[in-house]
Amino acid sequence: MSGHTEEHNAGVNKVLSGETTEYIVTHPGRSQYSREGGVDEIHKIPIFRKCLKIVTSDYGQAGLQYFEKLIGRIAGYTKSYSASSCVIITRPPEIVACFCLADAPGELFVIFDSHPRPGKHPNGAAFIFKNSARSTAEYLTDLLRYDERLLSDSTIQWQAQLLAHCSGDIFIARRHGFTSSQWAELALDASLELLRLQSHVRSLENDNENLSSDKQRLRVEVEDLEDQLLELDDEFEQLKARYEQLSKSYQHNTSSPSSSTARRLVPRSPLGTPSATIGTSARNTPSSRHPAAQDKQKHQSDLGTESTAALAIEMQLAFDEENRRLERERKHLKDIQPEFFDCNICFERHQDDFLARVVPCGHSYCRPCLRAYAVSKIMDHRFPIICPSCVADRDRPEHGELDDFAIQQLGLDEKQYQIFNEMQMDRFSTIIHCRKYVPPS
């Protein structure tokens, strides 16, 4: 027993050493792992997959009762399997690890917090040791405290309500150490995984270069179309001014002397009738003496009127055609402009190409976020998969659900999709008991 105690004390002292904390915080791959995404993605790394076994995941409202349940679980697993266990508590952007160490004289819990905390450990990351599940849960409750008024305020957005919830992923360490062959197999797996990732990175870089060139080409096309639109606007204004000028000229040329003016040229008697001298005066007018000249002048006036009217009609048709062309250009420019949406999980702005919408609630997410959410629910065998926004909005009468069509659009692998199909079939399955079956005594 003393040998186990000395070995345990040596392990605790090693954890307490500054070299261990410095190695964890300053490890070159730490920033890369933090960008990978969820805990399940980090667990896929070969060394973690070989050394740790994931047991279960839980999700609930951050509080003393929830943390007591998590701490009680890892303590039970450590006692049952005689192996150290750990729960990774995630509440974005917070990630805290809590360990239950095996081979200890009593219960020993270690909390690793990588963030500096004023009043607790303001200088950086820290290991916090607790000797009971109750004190560990109380420390986590104080660490991840939230304003309870957020849940009672009906006007607050559901994003703020998510701060009151967190998830816990429980792992168990494998008891037996690795042999040389197992280390070689692990190195081979890591090398193959590295080659696969390098190939994937090269493919993404090529896609990025192609997209960048396409983006540059489209930007040049948009600039050219904008220049053409400005030129068309100028041409439209010129045609409009010319049309107005021709319209005024047409109205001026088609106006003829009024009948009242013609009547004023004819002398009238006091009784209002033309005088008897009208025949004499008419015979003395130049038009009466030259009827051919009068007809020629009238013919030229009619030709000028017809020419002006034809030109006005032609300009009107040209104006209408130009107006239709400008409308088509504006519609084309509007159609090629990309539309954006805000993801309700990562709260970032994305183009519609990454849109994944849940029916019938209509909440919008980017595909990577919704895929990670769906995978976590599928691996936990939770069905149906409710929309994450609807989960937070408890008062919503109708909740959205990820159906088979939505799951197919997210690009799950074959194993995950098979689990989803099995969960769908469970809804329609019926247990049939054989009447002739006799259980063994």
Q: What is the pLDDT of residue 264?
A: 44
34 shares its domain with 160: yes
CA distance 157 to 151: 10
11 shares its domain with 40: yes
Residue 363 included in any domain: yes
Q: What is the pLDDT of residue 67?
A: 93
Q: What is the pLDDT of residue 260?
A: 43
Answer with the one of 316, 337, 358 that is the final residue of a domain: 337
Residue 142 included in any domain: yes
Task: Go through 389-426 and write b for each residue having 16 or more CB atoms within 10 A of its CB, e for each that does not.
Answer: bbbbeeeeeebbbbeeebbeebebeeebbebbeebeee
250 shares its domain with 387: no
Give the SS3 label for residue 341: strand
Residue 45 included in any domain: yes
CA distance 144 to 95: 10
Q: What is the DSSP letter of 352?
A: G
What is the maximal distance between C-alpha atoms in the chain? 154
Closest CA to 50 of 167, 169, 188, 201: 188
Q: What is the pLDDT of residue 76?
A: 92
232 shares its domain with 144: no
Residue 218 included in any domain: yes
Q: Encoding tokens for residue 49?
A: 């997959």
CA distance 41 to 217: 36
Domain that holds residue 312: 210-254+304-337
With a cut of 50, list the residues of the chain below it in pLDDT. Answer: 1-3, 28-36, 256-289
Contact (Cβ atoms closer than 8 angstroms) between residue 112 and residue 121? no
Residue 197 included in any domain: no
Residue 2: phi and psi, rounded to 5, are -65, -35
333 shares its domain with 364: no
Q: Encoding tokens for residue 373?
A: 């959410």
Read off the CATH number of the domain in which 366 is found.
3.30.40.10
Give the SS3 label for residue 228: helix
221 shares its domain with 164: no
Read off the CATH number of the domain in which 82 is found.
3.90.70
47 shares its domain with 143: yes
Q: What is the DSSP letter of 121?
A: B
129 shares its domain with 244: no
Q: What is the pLDDT of residue 73?
A: 93
15 shares its domain with 113: yes
Answer with the one of 154, 177, 200 that is the final residue of a domain: 177
320 shares its domain with 387: no
Q: Encoding tokens for residue 191?
A: 């090398």
21 shares its domain with 128: yes
pTM over the 0.75 mark: no
